[in-house]
Amino acid sequence: ILSYGTFSQSDALRRLDPDNTGFIAVENFTSLVEHHELQLDPSKLDMLLALVQSNEEGQVCYQELIELMSSKRSSSFRRAIANGRRTLQREILLDETGLGLYKRFVRYVAYEILPCETDRRWYFHQNRLCPPPVFIAIVTIVQIIVFMCYGIMLNKWVLQTYQPDFMKSPLVYHPGHRAQVWRFFSYMFMHVGLEQLGFNALLQLMIGVPLEMVHGILRISLLYMAGVLAGSLTVSITDMRAPVVGGSGGVYALCSAHLANVVMNWAGMRCPYKLLRMILALVCMSSEVGRAVWLRFSPPLPSSGPQPSFMAHLSGAVVGISMGLLILRSYEESLQKQCSWWVIVFSFITFLLFAIFWNIFAYDLLGVQIPPPP
């Protein structure tokens, strides 16, 4: 794994760790860097120097060096960099020139999502096009296709929920069909109209794709689907007569997590015009919630039943601030090793079990008059 110029791995190991202790003395490593030409990527060399300078005991774990060289940065290495003096010698990514279109986009994503310069450098160096951020793209494409199919079939592109045939879709969550479990997820593919679809698609592409590029498909899909499920379950508890359509639960989970991460790491975020962009995002999200409340309680046209609830927006935001913030702050660190992660998971599972029992028993016990399902 290690290859320093004309030195073999064993030569390098003897020079770095002559006593075979598993640790590298700072002076040995610094001397090798200063007196021999290393065939290392400059960004990795910067991180190695930062790791050496951050250690107060005057030694560096040889295994951490191996993991860096093999592109497997451990959480202990990351903490050493984060807690140390982090003397990084290269110019910041924003000043690099001569990059191709894709690398410029990667640089933009790094500054948009990550608050730490070391993390940005690492992501910029390690980023690969494969696997691509496919989850958010696939969800958006399916939502557009479903909307267009119903728009053509019903010849209606706005306020589709006022069309009785639209609410007969097997994808819509309706309290009268709550025994059909898939509806607690599938409602995210249906939308009230063109304006709701456009707002959700724009937000989840602008925020979701960069988040997925940095944090991976598993974490972002988990966050998105947790917001979707929390949205339908919250409606089934707090607004028991209302149906639900739209992907707002997942979208608001992504947006609130990103905005909370920006606020928590305000000094380290280098995305341009961050204050103006945050204000615009909050205004747009608040306007969408206000519009959903208006449609729920004061619909502009008479309809055959209650209009879709707005509670999915709020529950998605709660999921984003709780679960999502921890996911975004734990870049390249194992969530399973963090106590706070298990607290959040336990809380979500508790809410899930409560919602299941509520949907089984509470409607009959409370005598809720559910409008007949379409």
Q: Say how far apart CA 221 and CA 344 lie, in whole Å.
A: 17
| 340 catalytic per annotation | no
Q: Say how far apart CA 141 and CA 191 lie, in whole Å.
A: 13
Please tell me which residue in 169, 232, 313, 322 is annotated as part of the active site. 313
Q: Say how far apart CA 291 and CA 31 lie, in whole Å.
A: 65
* Angle ∠(262,268,270) on CA atoms, nearest 5: 80
Burial of 136 (0-12, 13-18, 19+ CB in 10 A): buried
As a whole number of Å, the CA-based R_g of the chain is 26
| 248 catalytic per annotation | yes
The per-residue b/e assignment along 83-95, b for 16 or more CB within 10 angstroms, e otherwise, is: ebebebeeeebee
Q: Say how far apart CA 43 and CA 158 lie, in whole Å.
A: 51
Q: Say how far apart CA 339 and CA 229 lie, in whole Å.
A: 23
Per-residue CA distances from 290 to 79, 238, 311 (Å): 42, 17, 11
Burial of 371 (0-12, 13-18, 19+ CB in 10 A): middle
Residue type at position 353: L
The structure tokens listed for 294 are 């208006």
Strand partners, 24: 60
Whether the CB-CB separation of 84 and 50 falls below 8 Å is answered with yes
Report which DSSP code applies to 173: B
Please tell me which residue in 54, 232, 248, 309 is annotated as part of the active site. 248
Extract the runs of DSSP E, i.e. beta strands, from the chain.
Answer: 23-25, 59-61
Q: Say how far apart CA 62 and CA 21 lie, in whole Å.
A: 9
23-25 and 59-61 beta bridge pairing: antiparallel
Q: Say how far apart CA 23 and CA 64 lie, in whole Å.
A: 9
Residues acting as catalytic residues: 248, 313
